[in-house]
């Protein structure tokens, strides 16, 4: 469930610029150039306790409105056009990306992309598609939301007890996600298991998990329909928290798996979590060794010609409930409103 909040200064400024027509005027005076990458995760209305509601990027209606705007005012590009932008042969372009491989990408996003004749890149966590595994962030959300308790008892991971912020318990979920991201990957299964035991929660059944991820048949259908795909590891670890040898396995095996299913090579990868401390220079070198040409982070900005790191290209994260005026202004004036 989305919690409404009062608009901040940036949103108010975006509304004024958009409604007054100043957005276009300012854009004409200060046009941006380079590669702007928009990042989505899930499309739809969050309601299931199986899902971390924080990974929803837009409802289908919001997504359609965003694509309508982009198709009118910008060129939405494909991966093979990035070279022209980063080498200065093309002024600018917008790239659409999705992370993880949720089924709503096929059921809700893909039809809208087809309607507007646009393409997007879908970065797949191959183990989720192969095994139907519950993503660790969704598992933590499930554990907190379905617990009969009102507090996380004192424990070795969080230290002091954490009272749930009812009714949505979102602050508690964010706290646990933050801890999980900082742990060595080898410690994370014990962290989740001990939390389930403390909170008296069982994992969901395989039947409850049946429709979470895309199938490979869906992936092939989307690929045939003009969508592009890239790697996002096998199990979605924070790569910087893994030894180099294990990072290599995650990167190489996911690439090989996707290429085997598609019957064609892939050239792009997005880093799980994707913040500055989520991957290292060694991780970037592993991408190059594996045959990747582009790596995408989860940090905001524009990929500038002649200066962008091709293995750490920035992306602008789209969040559920973003007002249309904010979306239009942020894409038009990313140098002012990109975050």
User: Tens of pLDDT along 214-272?
Assistant: 999 999 999 999 999 999 999 999 999 999 999 999 999 999 999 999 999 999 999 99
pLDDT of residue 16: 73
β-pairing, 151-152 vs 162-163, is antiparallel
User: Tens of pLDDT along 287-309?
Assistant: 999 999 999 999 999 999 999 99
Higher-confidence residue: 93 or 8? 93
The burial of 271, by beta-carbon neighbours within 10 Å (0-12 exposed, 13-18 middle, 19 or more buried), is given as buried
Reduced to 3 states (helix: H, G, I; strand: E, B; else coil), residue 336 is helix
Q: Is the omega angle on the peptide bond into residue 167 within 30 degrees of 0, that is, cis?
A: yes
Between helix 22-29 and helix 324-332 the angle, nearest 10°, is 10
**Contact by Cβ (8 Å): 207, 199:** no
User: Tens of pLDDT along 63-114?
Assistant: 999 999 999 999 999 999 999 999 999 999 999 999 999 999 999 999 999 9
Q: Please give the Cα distance from 145 to 1 (Å, whole number).
A: 12
Q: Which residue segments constitute the domains of the chain, with CATH numbers given?
A: 29-133+213-337 (3.20.20.370), 136-199 (no CATH)
**Contact by Cβ (8 Å): 254, 168:** no
């Amino acid at each position: 469930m989305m919690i409404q909040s009062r608009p901040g200064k940036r949103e108010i400024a975006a509304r004024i610029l958009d409604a007054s027509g100043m957005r276009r005027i300012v854009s004409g005076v200060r046009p941006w150039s380079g590669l702007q990458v928009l990042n989505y995760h899930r499309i739809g209305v969050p309601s299931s306790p199986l899902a971390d509601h924080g990974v929803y990027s837009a409802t289908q209606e919001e997504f359609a409105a965003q694509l309508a705007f982009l198709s009118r005012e910008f060129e939405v590009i494909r991966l093979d056009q990035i070279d022209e932008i980063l080498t200065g042969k093309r002024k600018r372009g917008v790239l659409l990306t999705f992370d993880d491989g949720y089924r709503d990408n096929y059921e809700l996003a893909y039809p809208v992309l087809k309607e507007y004749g646009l393409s997007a890149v879908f970065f797949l966590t191959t183990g989720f598609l192969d095994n139907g595994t519950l993503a660790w962030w969704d598992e933590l959300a499930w554990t907190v939301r379905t617990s009969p308790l009102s507090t996380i008892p004192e424990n070795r991971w969080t230290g002091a007890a954490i009272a749930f912020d009812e009714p949505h318990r979102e602050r508690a979920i964010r706290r646990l996600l933050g801890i999980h991201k900082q742990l060595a990957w080898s410690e994370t299964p014990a962290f989740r298991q001990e939390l389930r035991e403390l909170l008296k929660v069982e994992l969901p059944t395989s039947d409850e998990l049946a429709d979470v991820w895309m199938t490979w048949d869906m992936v092939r259908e989307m690929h045939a329909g003009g969508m592009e795909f890239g790697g996002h590891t096998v199990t979605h670890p924070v790569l910087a928290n893994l030894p180099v040898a294990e990072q290599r396995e995650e990167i190489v095996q996911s690439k090989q798996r996707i290429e085997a299913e598609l019957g064609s090579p892939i050239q792009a990868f997005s880093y799980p979590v994707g913040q500055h401390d989520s991957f290292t220079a060694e991780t970037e070198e592993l991408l190059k060794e594996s045959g990747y040409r582009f790596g995408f982070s989860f940090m905001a900005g524009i990929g500038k010609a002649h200066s962008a790191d091709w293995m750490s290209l920035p992306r602008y994260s789209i969040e559920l409930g973003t007002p249309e005026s904010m979306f239009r202004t942020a894409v038009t004036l990313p140098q002012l409103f990109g975050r």
